[in-house]
Each structure stands twice: as C-alpha cells, then as structure tokens.
Chains A and B, each alone.
Chain A
Amino acid sequence: MPDSHTIIHGASEAAHDAHAEHPAYLRHHFENTAQQADATNFAMWLFLVTEVMFFGGMFTAYLIYRNWYYPAFVAASHQLDVRWGTLNTLVLIISSFTMAMGVWCAETRRKSGLVLCLVLTMILGVGFLGIKTIEYSEKIEKHHVPGFHYSLQSFTDPQSDPAVYAEYHDKALPLDMARHTEVYFSLYFALTGMHALHMIIGIAILVFMIFRAQAGAYTSGHVTFVENFGLYWHFVDIIWIYLFALLYLISRHQ
C-alpha cells in the first residue's frame, strides 16, 4: 500500500488555495478526494477482516466438532436439501454479479442502470432469504431446531424419514452419537442465522441506497459508498459459499 504522504505531498497548499474547487462530498479533514476514497476503502477492508474473525470463531467450532462427531455430522447434513442449497448459491452469485454491475454503473455515471442493478440485487437477496425460510420451516417441522423440542428420531430411526432415507440409506446411529446431531444443528442455525442477519442488514442498506441512487447521489463521481457496500455484499456471498461447502456438500458422499 502506498505511503500516504506521497499522495498528500505537495497537495496541502494547493488544496488550500483552491478552496472553491472542492467537490461537495469531500469531507473537510481530507486533503483531497483520492485520500478520502483511499481511507474509506481501507476502512471497509479492515471491517471485513473483523467479520472474518467473527465468523472464524464459529467455523473453528464447526471443524472441531465435525472431527469429533463425524457420523453425527454426516447424518445430520443429509437432512439439508442440496438442491435448495445449490439454488441459493446461484441466487447469491447472480446477486454478486448484479452488485458488481451496479458499482460499474456508478463509476460510469449511469443512473438508471445503477438503480436497476441495486433493485435486482435486492430482489435476489430477498429471494435468498425466502428460500432459507422454506429450509428453516422444514427443520422446524421435523423438530431439528436445537433446544427443548429437539427430536432424534430421524437419526435413531432413519426409515421414519422416508425422503432422506430413499436418497442416502443412512444406518441408524447409536443414541449417544445421534445426540451429537444437535451440535451440528446448533452450528447450522448459528452460522446460517448470522449469515441471514448480514443479508437482512445488507438488504436494508440496499433499500436506502436505491432511494439515494434515484436522487443521483452516487452518479456524480462519489462512488465510495457503492463500492464499499459492494465489498460487503461480496463478502456475505463468500461466507455463504463456505457455508454451502461445509454444511451441504462435504458429507454428501463418504
């Protein structure tokens, strides 16, 4: 990363003289717009680092327990429908594409294109949550939500769950191993729940951005907000790709 003083150097006096020529979005404490964009961008990357650490705690827990309770994690992951997971992955990847197009539209000052991209991104985000709701409701019906009502039936007696049994032919787990499926679902709900929370926050910001974009706020040269939100959205997407691999895919065939 470049030393900041090379950016500022020589600009200090010039910036002071040319006070009237500042664009309106330049905050008073920055020397110039390049420094402002550079700083906010760097801040966003740092924030994403904290997010990595936040999810990292749960990924650590997942990896440890998966090693300890391998059969339980395999049986429990068979309860997830890989078709829904794949569909959701596609939805998110497409939304990342529309978001990237949105950033491009902002940079090239295409207002209607930006609004369209943001709306599409939002619709895809809502669609993801809709599919997640379908998956969650299935878990609720089968009593696979950890806690007081948790049921081991699908694991101690797999044939009681014909749809899953037809696909995987799982053997019944001994009771003490079957109980550990609850740890899997604890992590499943904690991880996907935290991810969904990030989606909800993202969608709320998207709604705000759509209104601002319509007012022309991001197509006058000041694109850092759209860019930084784009980074956030891609990050949430990447987290999902890890979740998809760890929760749905790696235990499909053993």
Chain B
Amino acid sequence: MSATIVSLPDQSTARIPKMNYLTKENGLLSWLLTGDHKRIAMLYLISLSFFFFIGGALAGLIRLELLTPQADLMATDTYNKVFTMHGVIMIFFFLVPSVPATLGNFLIPMMIGAKDLALPKINLLSWYLYVAGGILAIYTMAAGGVDTGWTFTTPLSTHYVNTNVLTTGLAAFIAGFSSIFTGLNFIVTIHKMRCPGMTWFRLPLFVWAHYAASILMVLATPVVAIAIVLIALERTIGIGVFDPTKGGDPLLFQHLFWFYSHPAVYIMILPGMGVISETISTFSRKRVFGYTAVAFSSVAIAVFGFFVWAHHMFIMGISNYAVLVFSLLTMLVAVPSAIKIFNWTFTLYKGSITFETPMLYTFGFMGLFTIGGLTGVFLGTSGTDIHLTETYFIVAHFHFVMVGGMLMAFLAGIHFWWPKITGRMYPEKISQLAAVVTFIGFNFTFFPQFILGTLGMPRRYASYPPEFQVLNVFSTAGATILGVGYLLPVLYLTWSLKYGEIAGNNPWQATGLEWQTQSPPLTENFTVTPIMDHEAYDYEWLEKQKEKEVTHAG
C-alpha cells in the first residue's frame, strides 16, 4: 500500500491559480445566471448532495422501522409513503442526474478539448428544471406524501389512492425534461465540439459511456413523460386510457413506464462505468484493455436496454411468449456488461496498481456490480423470477447495482476529479477509511436481503414474520455503518476546500486532456484550442510531455 502515483507540487511554493472558473466572477447572481458548464456542475453537485441526504434519511427511517417485526415506528400507510418518497427522490433526483450532471457536465467539454457544452443556456435551464422538480417533490412530502411506490402503478395511482400522485408525477415529469436536455446537450457536444485530432476512437471511455447514456435519456424519457401526462389526465378529468372499467388496459401503463424506467437503470449505471474506465486505467498505469470493445459495449448496453423492459412484468399477466422473448433478450444485456468487467480486470493484469481512494471505490464497484449484475440474471430467468420477484431479493439486486455500483462509481469519480474541481487534494488516509467503511456497511446492509428474499420476505411491507428478524437487524446495523461511510466524505471534502494540499495540474499523472490544464481550470478551459495528437490513455506520451517540461526549464 505504500506505493503511490500521487505527485504534488512543492507545498511551500505552490499556489492555487488566481484566475480560475471559481474566482472569475463573484456573487450569487454570477452563479445563478452562469453559462459555464463547470459552475453548473457545481450547482448540481450541491443540490444533488442535498437530495441524496434527504433520500438517505428516508432510507434510514425504512431500516429503523424494519428493525422489529411489528409496524411500530410508523403506521403502515406512513411506511408506504416513506419508501415511495425514498424511491422517487433517489431515482429522479439523485441517481439519474448524479454522474452525468456533475462529473459529465464538468468533464465532457474538457475531455474533448472544448470550451463549453454546445448549449450553455439549455444546460442552465436543465439545472433550474431539476431544482423546480425537486422543490415540488419536497412540497409533496410536506403536503402528506404519496404512497404508490415510485412506479405510479395503475390503477392504484389513478383510482385507489388519494395522496399527492399529481404533484409527484409533475415533479418526475419536470425532472425528466431536465434529464432530456442534459442528454441532448451531451450528444450535440460530443458530435460537434471535439477539438482537432479528437477522433471518436481517441475519446476517453468516460465520454463514450456518457454518449450511450445520453441516447437513452433522449429516446426513453419522453415516453415516461407521456405516461405521466396520461396518468394525470386520468386522475383529473377521468379519461380512460388505463382504466379497465372503460376498456383501457393498466398493463399498457406498465409497458410505457418500463420502456423508460428500464433504460433508466442504464442511464444511471453507464456514466458510472465511464468513471471506472478512467480510474482503473490511471491507477494501473495502463491503457484500458480492449478500448474498442469497452466503447462499443456502452453503446450495446444502450441499444439492448431498449428491448428488455417487459422483464419487470413477468408476473403481471403478459403472455408466455412475451416472457420467453424478454427473458432471452435480458440475458443478452448481461453480455456487454460482462465485457466491461472482464476488460477492466484485464487492465489490472500486470498493471502498476496503486490503492488511492478512487481505486478502492473502483474495486468496490467491480465486486458489487458483478454480484448485482449476476443476480439480475436470476431475475431475468422467468422460472426463478416468479419466486424471487416482489421479494427482498429484488431490493437487494437493484441496490447492489445502484448503490454498490453507481454510488461507488460516483464517489470514485468525485474523489478522482476533486483535485481538478477544487485545486486541492482530499485527505488520503481518512478517505481510504471511508471507502472501506462504505464497502463493509454496504455488504452488511444488502447481502442479508438476498437471503431474506430467497426465504420469501415480500418487499413494501412495514411488518414481517418474526423469523426474519435476525437478518433484518443485520441489515439495519449495516445501514448505520453505511450512513457513517457517506457522511465522512461530506465532512472531509468540505474540510479540504480550505485545508487540503495544493494539487497542481495533474496529481495522478493521468492522460486525459482535462488533466493537462490548470486546477481549478480557467472558465474557457484551454487558452488555445488543444490538438489531440495521441491515443487515449497513452502513458508514454505523458512521459514525453514531462521530459519536454524539464528541458524547457533547463
């Protein structure tokens, strides 16, 4: 563990550059009306963290309630509202925008050598839409919440509950448009704003992953938007598109909803995979093994992701043939995910691996995502799905992918690019501790839920038979550890804003164009438009650059 690649400038003489995107302008309005992709990324980071901790607090309440078999902490309908709001906030206001809106926003223009995203005003608009949707979601909670589950399943959401379905739906609708605009902006930027020499196959894999996720955002999100509009019309004026008493089909709602919400899980995980490609290459000092395969596997995940949605509906009354076909297609989507995991593993092989915090999170991601992905195959198999669906097995599966995968990748990315974003290093030892604590806490929380699920404990109930208590206590205890793991970064990252070591331009000796600029970067990113004259992850090129610097100084 002693080896490290960190190379910091001499701390006694190093200074943060006086002119950078943070100091260019001052005052609240310079932030609220900014067109700078880096400032918008920071706005997103702050608001996202806020929603993450609201969603996290709700998760804490759920785990506390499940400490005992009886519904004693809260009434059962309150419990329904708590898990619904946990899902709504975590999915629409944290997971979907998490990596793209913060790191993607900050880094994509820098990685492709552009001064900004193609549409800066649309970028700012998407943040305002996000905030508007978020405020509406918070209002919903204050006004009594909603208890349909985050899936708004009909006819429950249209006929049988009298909670705030409309405002929650509107919140998701608005957040959806925020996501559409982000995706649209990324696609246009990646197509039209690359610097000279930056061909498609010299793009960092982070950019490829975001490109694939953006396709999903642009094509899938409008479909859930219209599904929500139809729900709203059904609740308000009583049209009958999903109403069986009038001949509508509630299953059609599920088709429309999952046509978005299944691709949405790839919107959530693909940008995280992009982060992992960057960290794994940097901390093994090797080009990502099978660059082209990893790049195309992102696109393949995006394409296959559109054809598997009905695996959420195996027990909902779709035909046996549909089950067969969608089960098969679901197996297919495991292939590109496995291509990524294998290629990352081969990247490690004979690499000079060091164990800085981002790498620890990356290892966490690889292990947990593999478990999460493989249990997805259990669920895609129709025979086992009938036993496992609607149990805690599902809960554990998607938390392994989303929390164990995406959140680990998000934290890996935040730590990895923190020196670039702020110009200062985070404290290494305590953040390594946080990474380990998160990993342990995570496994304690969610692994018992796989066992609970196979034993048959159903999800979405406030009470359960007493024989499940031991494993639930394990899970709740783990959640407390996990909570500590997530609070620590907030504390030490805030601390590092003032007291962290000066990072210099390229503390990790990484190859991306973003690392060849000052930290924090200038508002216009590059003083001269860069010319890309080497492949991505070319560490020899980096060595030559360093030699040049030395000769210049001499």
Which A residues lie at the B interface, using CB under 8 A?
1, 3-5, 8-10, 12-13, 16, 27-29, 31, 35, 38-40, 42-43, 46-47, 49-51, 53-58, 60-61, 64-65, 68-69, 72, 145-148, 179-180, 182-183, 185-187, 189-190, 194
Task: Type the 1/0 row for B223-252, where 1 means its CB is closer than 8 Å to any CB of A.
Answer: 101110110010001111100001111001
Please measure, in the bound complex, the distance between the C-alpha atom of A73 and the C-alpha atom of B417, giving whole angstroms: 58
**Residue pair A38, B192 in contact (C-beta under 8 Å):** yes
* Closest A residue by C-beta to B190: A4
Contact partners of B114 in chain A: CB under 8 A: 29
**Residue pair A29, B247 in contact (C-beta under 8 Å):** no
- Give how many B residues have a beta carbon under 8 Å from the other chain's beta carbons: 52
Please measure, in the bound complex, the distance between the C-alpha atom of A47 and the C-alpha atom of B197, giving whole angstroms: 28
Say how far B115's CB is from chain A's closest CB, in angstroms: 4
Contact partners of A39 in chain B: CB under 8 A: 118-119, 188-189, 191-193
> Residue A179 contacts which of B115, B222, B246, B249 (CB distance < 8 angstroms)?
B246
Contacts A50-B218, A190-B241 given; indicate if A40 touches B119 (C-beta within 8 A): yes
Judge whether B194 is part of the interface by a CB distance below 8 angstroms: yes
Contact partners of B524 in chain A: CB under 8 A: 28-29
**Residue pair B184, A47 in contact (C-beta under 8 Å):** yes
9 residue pairs, one from A and one from B, having the closest CB atoms: A186-B239, A147-B238, A12-B529, A29-B116, A57-B226, A54-B222, A29-B115, A180-B247, A53-B222
Judge whether B171 is part of the interface by a CB distance below 8 angstroms: no
Judge whether B120 is part of the interface by a CB distance below 8 angstroms: yes
Contact partners of A194 in chain B: CB under 8 A: 226, 229
**Residue pair B188, A57 in contact (C-beta under 8 Å):** no
Indicate the member of B188, B259, B528 with the most A CB atoms within 10 Å.
B188
**Residue pair B238, A65 in contact (C-beta under 8 Å):** no
Chain B stretch 490-548: residues in CB contact (< 8 A) with chain A: 524, 528-529, 531
**Residue pair B115, A182 in contact (C-beta under 8 Å):** no
Contact partners of A50 in chain B: CB under 8 A: 180, 184, 218-219, 221-222
**Residue pair B252, A64 in contact (C-beta under 8 Å):** yes
Contacts A146-B238, A180-B246 given; indicate if A4 touches B222 (C-beta within 8 A): no
* Closest B residue by C-beta to A54: B222
Indicate the member of B193, B227, B247 with the most A CB atoms within 10 Å.
B247
Judge whether B7 is part of the interface by a CB distance below 8 angstroms: no
Judge whether B352 is part of the interface by a CB distance below 8 angstroms: no
> Residue B528 contacts which of A3, A12, A51 (CB distance < 8 angstroms)?
A12
Known: A54-B226, A55-B226. 8 other contacts (CB 8 A): A4-B192, A12-B531, A31-B529, A38-B192, A146-B239, A182-B239, A190-B229, A190-B233
Chain B stretch 170-197: residues in CB contact (< 8 A) with chain A: 180, 184-185, 187-189, 191-197
* Closest B residue by C-beta to A180: B247
Please measure, in the bound complex, the distance between the C-alpha atom of A32 and the C-alpha atom of B81, giving whole angstroms: 52
Judge whether B85 is part of the interface by a CB distance below 8 angstroms: no
> Residue A147 contacts which of B192, B195, B239 (CB distance < 8 angstroms)?
B239
* Closest A residue by C-beta to B525: A29
* Closest B residue by C-beta to A189: B239
Say how far A122's CB is from chain B's closest CB, in angstroms: 24
Q: List 11 A-B contacts (CB under 8 A).
A: A10-B196, A12-B196, A28-B115, A39-B191, A46-B187, A50-B184, A50-B221, A57-B226, A61-B241, A180-B247, A183-B248
